[in-house]
Chain A
Amino acid sequence: MTPLLAVRGLTKRFGAGCGECLDRTGALRETNRCPRCGAILACREVSFDLYPGEVLGIVGESGSGKSTVVRLLHFDLEPTAGEYRLAVADAAAGGGGRNLFALSPFQRRRIRNEHMGIVYQNPRLGLRLKVSAGGNIAERLLMAGWRHVGRIRERASELLRQTEVPLARMDEPPRNFSGGMQQRVQIAKALSTRPAVLLLDEVTTGLDVSVQAKVLDLLRSLQRELGIATLVVSHDLGVIRLLTSRTIVMRHGEIIEQGLSDQILEDPQHPYTQLLVNSVL
């Protein structure tokens, strides 16, 4: 099977760097901060594939670089190094398996609008909280080239129904909504353009446990229905167990272990993964 998304050597350094940064940071050095120059290696030489229809987890403590990877893939950040290929975007990228990071900002924006959906931990990043729920979705559809107002409104209400947001609240701004409902609107927005890849960054972190459960159930049923290839970033092994079939473990910006999710949970190899698994309440 050919991967839908392939990442090779993805590296993001914050700071000028000194030429020794890579040697002085990482899981073995137990830091992501270069002691010589102070630069942060938020992620380093990260490589993985995402296959059609699969749900891949990235787990690790805060600061391990999980979210940086997601932001890079969504073009929210510029990478320091690395290659990024997306099978469905190949034509738009000019064909020949072009590295998406080498494209112009305009081309990248287009690929993002057409092929990617993202849900952030903080709804403020994914939504305009003062614009109505329906308006948030409409905006996203407009960016992806939808023009027919009636159809946009129809699609927005279909999505809100799918994500179990009461239709009566379609014209209300998400500012008025509970945390769980804000996440549902974000999910609806992310799904609106039928993306090839869905990026979920700590989508249930910070919600009440019962609200978390409902959002996770929703994601699971959407997964079954739509089968969108999804990257799930979480520090919560429960989320990983529930949603993913394969998992990558990151520490200090580096991938330290990867495997089938049940194997990572039942037979973790790396000392840090064992610590994570044994720390579950």
Chain B
Amino acid sequence: MSPDILLRVEDLAKRFVCHMQGGKEILGFEGVSFRLPAGAALALTGPSGAGKSSVLKCIYRSYLPGRGSIRYRTADGGDIDLARASETEVLRIRSREMGYVTQFLHALPRVPAVDVVAEPLTAAGTPPAEARMRAQALLERLGIDRALWDAYPATFSGGEKQRVNFARAVIRPPRLLLLDEPTASLDPRAMEVVVAVLSEMKARGTTMVAVFHEGSPLASLMDDGCALPAKEPQR
């Protein structure tokens, strides 16, 4: 893999075998290939159900990729196939260099919003008081009401949850950021802030793969695209 490429996905495919339905096979996606230079942003597009989220999950390895490879250039210059890497290697890369903003928030239960956001910092050794201050500043910037900082995100609105989720993923800017509709439930003002935060991160070198709907202001950050075709109806 040439040294300026950070991520190279080649002929990636994912099939689900549903044993509870007699071994029925469901196609997630197939034949996905793209290469992404360090610091660039790529949009994954395609109709609903085309497999956009599944591609991101394969890169993060929440899904086990089937065919194909996901070559990633690590911070220390290594070249690793995330599709085949050991779990321990994936965990190390996740904690040090990869961020993922999911479509939905799976908040840790009974953890106040500010701590949900601060945790990646404390996990990396930032003193708790400083981590909390930075988390508060980010929540403030994202327009989360002060009164909510010490409340549990489980009870938040969709847009509030999404911003907490986003804050957690970017508070410690990763080298590679995966974004799955990070602005879907946001109002225009909040969306503007998210785009501003992302563009600052991009300027500082974060590479991104993003899924968003048509007309989203995230489009302005993208350098490239990968279109997933609609799938043939399955028997």
Contacts and interface: CB of A to CB of B under 8 A. Distances in A.
Contacts of B91: 54, 245-246, 260
Nearest to A238: B109
Nearest to B90: A260
A213 B108 CA distance: 12
A94 B39 CA distance: 51
B62 A267 contact: yes
Interface of B: 16-20, 57, 61-64, 87-88, 90-91, 108-110, 122-123
Contacts of A224: 122-123
Interface string A180-219: 0000000000000000000000000000000001000100
Most buried by B among A1, A258, A266, A267: A267
A80 interface: no
Contact of A266 (B62, B108, B109): B62
Contacts of B61: 260, 263
A1 B88 contact: yes
Nearest to A270: B19
B110 A51 contact: no
Given A242-B108, A278-B20, A263 B63 contact: yes
B200 to A, nearest CB: 29
A269 interface: yes
Contacts of A262: 62
Given A260-B87, A263-B62, A269-B64, 5 more contacts: A54-B88, A246-B88, A262-B62, A267-B62, A274-B19
Nearest to A220: B108
Contact of B16 (A260, A263, A267, A271): A267
A258 B20 CA distance: 19
B64 A267 contact: yes
A245 B88 CA distance: 9
Contacts of A280: none
Nearest to A271: B19
Contacts of B90: 260
B132 to A, nearest CB: 14
Contacts of B123: 224
A266 B63 contact: yes
A173 interface: no
A2 to B, nearest CB: 11
A270 B63 CA distance: 14
Contacts of A9: none
Contacts of A275: 19-20
A25 B91 CA distance: 34
A137 to B, nearest CB: 27
B87 A246 contact: yes
Nearest to A258: B87
A274 B20 contact: yes
A259 interface: yes
7 contacts: A54-B91, A213-B109, A246-B91, A260-B61, A263-B63, A266-B62, A275-B19
A-B interface, 9 closest residue pairs, ranked by CB to CB distance from nearest: A271-B19, A267-B63, A262-B62, A266-B62, A274-B19, A260-B87, A246-B87, A263-B62, A267-B64
Interface in A218-260: 220, 224, 242, 245-246, 258-260
Nearest to A278: B20
Contacts of A54: 88, 91
A213 B16 CA distance: 33
Contacts of A278: 20
Nearest to A273: B19
Contacts of A213: 109-110
A72 to B, nearest CB: 23
